[in-house]
Amino acid sequence: MRRFGRLYSQLLRTGFAEAVAYRAEFLIWMFSTNMPLVMLAIWAAAAREGPVAGYSQRGFAAYYLCTLLVRLLTGAWVVWEMTMEIRQGTLALRLLRPIHPLLQWSADNIAAIPMRGVVALPVTAVLLFFARGELARDWFSWLLLCPALLGAWLLYFLVQAMIGTVALRFESAASLFEAWLGFSNILSGYLVPLDLFPRAVRDVALWLPFRFQLSYPVELMLGRWSRLQALELLGVQWIYVAMFLLATRAAWRSGLRYYAAYGG
């Protein structure tokens, strides 16, 4: 365990050094995560005359700022790295090392969080200034937010990794990921709060994994659930994490059998 701790802390240090080296590109990429602000402008205009499905203008501001924060803190890009490295043949060099490539990519993604903080901190300040009254008052919700954010990040990372393993066999997984991202943007609450969906759609969406990638941590921040309900939902989220972990592991092993290690 100590050995793993030493290894992972070195991976994080290296990942942070790389994030700093790519800082300009990284910041531009983060600023491109602006869809919640666009949606906020639209829904805030719609709510000028009165609340929409229970959301006032301030309510929408709180929702979309929380959404932006969660997205900034749980971002992952492993599917792009996997696809690129598989196509260019550089994955071979990772496979030669006695460490699972996904562990290394996970550290690269986590190590970028301090850089994300550069954007996340001002968003938090604006959130506290404009919509403090809309946020959860129970400290327990904020306590659960830590494992919920970790679970959300793991779901996002593992789904990407699982889709990325398709490239081991077919050299590309980008289109498949784009298709998945389309569903995710709608069903995770990224574009529209799930409360605004027709009841039948919402009832299904509440139990799909997309919700637990984004909407669930946002719901915690907005104090939507009692302590017991919040805990139950955390349990569901981590069941999904475990399922995707097993599925990704199986997909990786199966994919490696077809990996052609082209290039070089």
Partner 1 sequence: MIEVAGLRKWYRVHRREPGLAAALRSLWHRPTEEVKAVDDVSFSIAAGERVGFLGPNGAGKTTTLKVLAGLLHPTEGRATVAGHVPQKRERAFLEQITLVMGQKQQLLWDLPPSETFLLNRAIYDIPRAQYEETMAELTELLELGELLGKPARQLSLGERMKCELAVALLHRPRVLFLDEPTIGLDVSMQATVRSFVRAYNERFGATVLLTSHYMEDVAALCPRVMVIDKGRLIYDGALQELVRRVRPDKRMVLRLSRPVARAELEPLGAVVEHRDAEAVVQVSQEALQAAVARALSSLPLTDLTVADPPLEEVMRDLFAHGRAA
Between CA 212 and CA 139 the distance in angstroms is: 20
> 90 or 185, CB closer to partner 1?
90
Interface residue with partner 1, options 1, 32, 97, 199 (CB under 8 A): 97
Give whichever of 112 and 221 is closer to partner 1, judged by the CB atom.
Answer: 112
Q: Does 23 bind partner 1 (CB under 8 A)?
A: no
Is position 93 an interface residue for partner 1 (rule: CB under 8 A)? yes
22 binds partner 1 (CB under 8 A): yes
* Distance of closest approach, residue 41 Cβ to partner 1, in angstroms: 37
Burial 1-30 (b: 16+ CB within 10 A, else e): eeeeeeebeebbeebbeebeeeeeebeeeb
- Of 54, 98, 133, 198, the one binding partner 1 by CB under 8 A: 98
Least distance from partner 1 to the Cβ atom of residue 132, Å = 41
Give the number of residues in contact with partner 1, rule: CB under 8 A.
27
- What's the rounded Cα separation, in Å, for the pair 62 and 54? 13
**Buried-state track 201-216, b at ≥16 Cβ within 10 A, e below 16:** eeeebbeebbbbbbbb
Question: In the complex with partner 1, which residue's Cβ is closer, 6 or 132?
Answer: 6
The nearest distance, CB 13 to partner 1, in angstroms, is 8
Q: What is the number of other CB atoms lying within 10 angstroms of the CB of residue 263?
A: 11
Task: Report angle CA 231, 116, 211 to the nearest 5 degrees.
Answer: 35
Question: Shortest Cβ distance from residue 254 to partner 1 (Å)?
Answer: 11
Asked if 72 contacts 156 with a C-beta cutoff of 8 angstroms, the reply is: no
Q: Which residues contact 130 (CB under 8 A, 6 or more apart)?
A: 58, 61, 62, 65
Q: Binding to partner 1 by residue 6, rule CB under 8 A?
A: yes
Which one among 37, 38, 45, 89 touches partner 1, defined by CB under 8 A? 89
Beta carbons within 8 Å of 78's beta carbon, 6+ residues apart: 102, 105, 106, 109, 157, 160, 161, 164
Which one of 35, 84, 95, 174 is in contact with partner 1 (CB under 8 A)?
A: 95
CB of 255 to partner 1, least distance (A): 11
**Binding of residue 92 to partner 1 (CB under 8 A):** yes
Encoded tokens for 75: 């971002």
Q: How far is the CB of 18 from partner 1 (least distance, A)?
A: 7
For residue 49, give the 3-state DSSP assignment.
coil
Which residues does 251 contact at the CB level (< 8 Å), separation at least 6?
Answer: 162, 165, 166
Q: Are 184 and 192 in contact (CB under 8 A)?
A: no
Out of 18, 119, 140, 223, the only residue in the binding site for partner 1 (CB under 8 A) is: 18
Q: Does 27 bind partner 1 (CB under 8 A)?
A: no
Q: Which of 33, 56, 90, 185 binds partner 1 (CB under 8 A)?
A: 90
Q: What 3-state class would DSSP assign to 90?
A: coil
Residues of this chain that interact with partner 1 (CB under 8 A) are 3, 6-7, 10-11, 13-14, 17-18, 21-22, 89-90, 92-93, 95-99, 256-257, 259-261, 263-264
